[in-house]
Amino acid sequence: KKLPSKELTYSNRGMTLEEDLNETNQFYLEQSIAVIHKKPTPVQIVQVDYPKRSAAVIKEAYFKQASTTDYNGVYKGRYLDFEAKETKNKTSFPLQNFHDHQIEHMKQVRNQNGIAFVILRFSLTDEVYLLDAKHLIEFYDQKESSRKSIRKLDIENFGFLIKIGYHPRIDYLRIIDSVYFQKES
């Protein structure tokens, strides 16, 4: 029997981008559309207690910087890899939201013919865009000599607006289909 709490969640406002994407990926999984998971938060474990007759307790640990992006998986045989970020800015997306490691990882994925992109949300207007990593990398690599953020105008031009839905909330595979699988159909 399905828990009623789950049904309620979908109509809940104020969900984070991560929650919306987890719901979306869960939908894809249940419908056998794709297998995409968020990677666990990387943690450096320092001390663990092993109490008798109960579960091990981590007593000291630290957050580590992720060496890759947050989401990856498989869709129609292809490798998909993306990072999701949101901003409260209205007219641009700050590049400081990304780390060198993540950009390097996206380059490596592209080099292996994987599909790499970012999902960017402007929180105040709830607009969500898919931007191919190729463009993000270009802006990022120019950030020392040029702008420290991507103009929303450029995201609109180079990226794709994702229509926000009910279930799934952020149907990014619709964009992936039209952009990356068009030639093959």
Query: Of Mg ion, a second copy, none, which one does residue 55 interact with (CB within 5 to 8 Å by kind)?
Result: a second copy
Beta bridge partners, 170, equal 164
Q: Is 86 in the site for a second copy (CB under 8 A)?
A: no
Answer for which of 73, 85, 143, 158 binds a second copy (CB under 8 A) is 73
Based on the shown chain and the rule CB under 8 A, indicate whether residue 61 belongs to the binding site for a second copy.
Answer: yes
Q: Which is nearer to a second copy, 70 or 93 (CB)?
A: 70
Q: Of 11, 41, 125, 182, which lies in the binding site for a second copy, with binding defined by CB under 8 A? A: 41
Where do the H-state alpha helices sit in 11-99?
A: 17-30
Taking residue 60's Cβ as centre, other Cβ atoms within 10 Å add up to: 10
- Contact, 122 vs 152, CB < 8 A? yes
Instruction: Please choose, from the candidates 113, 129, 34, 44, the residue with its C-alpha nearest in 3D space to the C-alpha of residue 72.
Output: 34
Asked if residue 29 binds a second copy (CB under 8 A), the reply is yes
Distance of CA 33 to the CA centre of its chain: 17
Q: In angstroms, what is the minimal distance from the CB of 53 to a second copy?
A: 15
The contact set with Mg ion (CB under 5 A) reads 70
